[in-house]
Amino acid sequence: MIEIGLYEVEVKNRVVKGALNTRRIKGAQGNWYQERLYFLAESEEEAKDFTFKELRLRRCIGISGSRRKKSNIRREIEVIEIRRII
């Protein structure tokens, strides 16, 4: 039987520009933003995967999808800590 638990993932993320040389963009989205996300998962790895999927799907405010791809704007994500709550 697979046991599912509630995981708290503490992450920080920001929006950067460039593929190799990452520079933060101007404005509030370029600053590091720290938050906690909660997921029902089977393991810490699965909770981490859910975190990356959710944060990558967030849109960058004021930047259209075509411009985002052309100017290589992406979200930089760092996982600080993963804890199992239940």
Contacts of 40 (CB under 8 A, 6+ apart): 4, 5, 6, 7
- Give per-residue pLDDT as tens, 22-47: 888 888 889 999 999 999 999 999 99
User: Whole-prediction pTM value?
Assistant: 0.83
So what's the pLDDT on residue 1? 73
**Chain-centre distance for alpha carbon 59:** 11
Q: Mean pLDDT in the chain?
A: 90
| pLDDT-derived band at 65, boundaries 50, 70, 90 | confident
Q: What percentage of the chain carries pLDDT values higher than 70? A: 100
